[in-house]
Amino acid sequence: MKNEVKKKKVIVVGGGFAGVSFIHKLDRNLFEVLLIDKINHHQFQPLFYQVATSQIEPSSISFPLRNIFNNYPNVRIRLAEVKRIVAGENRVETTIGDFEYDYLVLAYGCMTNFFGNQTIPKHALTLKSTYDAITIRNHILRTFEKIVYVDEEKQKPLNNLVIVGAGPTGVELAGAFAEIKKNILPKDYHRLDFSKFTIWLIEGSENTLNNLSTLAQTSSKRYLENMGVKVITKTFVKDYDGETLVLSNGDNIIAKTVIWTAGVTGNRMEGLPAEVLAPGNRIRVDRLNRMQGSGNVFALGDIAMMETPKYPKGHPQVANVAITQAKRLARNLKNIELYKQTTDYEYIDLGSMATIGRNKAVVDLPFFSFKGYFAWLIWMFLHLMKILSVKNRFIIFINWAWAYITKDTSLRLILTPEKTEG
């Protein structure tokens, strides 16, 4: 009788793009996997803004981890938070106990970066999870319910919606809110003067979509301004107390709604040596995504800081990097176990894109850029194909098609604990 090979224990921390892609590609015959995450579902981050703006339901972009891996007998899942890594003992300490590993893969992603400001996080909304998206949706709808009955003076801070950060998330949010302001909310609130409702987009750099091409920068700004968004560039937010937004140019904006999309920083993890942490709490890794100074701890995606000749300051913190690093690491771990040659990671940038609204998008490919209706179709198709389940693709497509034809959605539900406001 042939002896069964003892499988190596792999702990994966985080069920985002990197964690899920890594487990999908890992050899089931060689590895046992323990996936640890604080939430029980994978979240499709590129479409958070559509949940926040009532275009699709959160269940359409949220996928239970146990369902994703229900055909993977080598995968166990634990709902917990990793409190500390004890690398010297090949062990992680979690809120439900300790677990040992042969290999540890860190893919726990990033959190919102407030650049050291202590006041802004207490009052600004963020968009880093499905829960955040639902919170924004609830807040916006409640804001209009308040505008209906408060006097004119109290309406002023409610009539300003400020988005801080003009990267893809900020631009897509601003465009979506501008379309809702024009096409949807006036149908629900017939007596409100929506000319008083102002959407602001604040950006510290010189352009919107500053990391994309010149065409994307100029086109996105022009699209937004034509849609009525007030775009302010080369300006930083200095403070926000829940009512007054203080800008570096000396201006103030009175607003009850501020959504912060201005940057990310790595989540902190106890037990990591200080010397492996790069700026932004990213973990320094080699070309195999192995943590500096370690033999069996790896980091993937947004938290991995891999310096290469093409990317001396690390790779962009985007989904495609996380997915391709994960797939490469899965192959390399198999090769390590089989005493075969490993392959260094090299990122091939296939391009970037952002949608600003109906028939409006920008796409940067390696050799050319384009905008408009065709770019919008490409954006929709590619995002639809990245959704994990066929059923969810179909549901999202139906929602998009209905919204396109009718310029309306029926998803404007306030989902909060029942509470009476005075």
Q: In angstroms, rounded to a whole number, what is the distance separating the alpha carbons of residues 120 and 258?
A: 9
pLDDT at 422: 44
Mean pLDDT of 39-68: 93
pLDDT at 407: 75
Residues 126-181 have pLDDT tens digits of 999 999 999 999 999 999 999 999 998 899 999 999 999 999 999 999 999 999 99
pLDDT band per the 50, 70, 90 thresholds, residue 4? low
Residue 421 confidence (pLDDT) above 70 = no
Q: In angstroms, rounded to a whole number, what is the distance separating the alpha carbons of residues 309 and 307?
A: 7
290 or 413, higher pLDDT: 290
Residue 410 confidence (pLDDT) above 80 = no
The full set of domains in the chain, from first to last, is: 8-38+80-112+265-337 (3.50.50.60), 120-262+351-406 (3.50.50.100)
pLDDT at 187: 87
- Look over the chain and give the mean of its residue pLDDT values, rounded to a whole number: 92
Tokens of 2: 């042939």
Mean pLDDT of 48-76: 93
Q: What is the 3 state secondary structure string of the chain?
A: CCCCCCCEEEEEECCCHHHHHHHHHCCCCCEEEEEEECCCEEECHHHHHHHHCCCCCHHHHEEEHHHHCCCCCCEEEEECCEEEEEHHHCEEEECCEEEECCEEEECCCEEECCCCCCCHHHHCEECCCHHHHHHHHHHHHHHHHHHHHCCHHHHHHHCEEEEECCCHHHHHHHHHHHHHHHHCHHHHCCCCCHHHCEEEEECCCCCCCCCCCHHHHHHHHHHHHHCCCEEECCCCEEEECCCEEEECCCCEEECCEEEECCCEEECCCECCCHHHEEHHHEEEECCCCEECCCCCEEECHHHEEECCCCCCCCCCCCHHHHHHHHHHHHHHHHHHHCCCCCCCCCCCCCCEEEEEECCEEEEECCCCEEECHHHHHHHHHHHHHHCCCHHHHHHHHHHHHHHHHHCCCCCCCCCCCCCCCC
Q: Cα–Cα distances in Å, from 53 out to 138, 177, 201, 407, 413?
A: 10, 7, 16, 13, 11
Residue 5 confidence (pLDDT) above 80 = no
Mean pLDDT of 52-61: 90
Residues 178-193 have pLDDT tens digits of 999 998 888 888 888 8
Tokens of 401: 């098609």
Mean pLDDT of 105-116: 93
pLDDT at 395: 87
Contacts of 195 (CB under 8 A, 6+ apart): none
270 or 5, higher pLDDT: 270
pLDDT at 419: 58
Residue 67 confidence (pLDDT) above 90 = yes
385 or 92, higher pLDDT: 92
pLDDT at 1: 41
Return the minimum-mean-pLDDT range out of 39-48, 58-67, 271-280, 380-389: 380-389
pLDDT band per the 50, 70, 90 thresholds, residue 3? low
Q: Which amino acid type is present at position 207?
A: N
pLDDT at 234: 96
pLDDT at 184: 86
Tokens of 56: 């699709």
pLDDT band per the 50, 70, 90 thresholds, residue 26? very high
Asked if 55 contacts 173 with a C-beta cutoff of 8 angstroms, the reply is no
Residues 209-232 have pLDDT tens digits of 999 999 999 999 999 999 999 999
pLDDT band per the 50, 70, 90 thresholds, residue 388? confident
Closest residue by Cα to residue 178 from 164, 163, 208, 198? 198
Residue 417 confidence (pLDDT) above 70 = no
Q: Computed over its alpha carbons, how large is the radius of gyration of the chain? A: 23
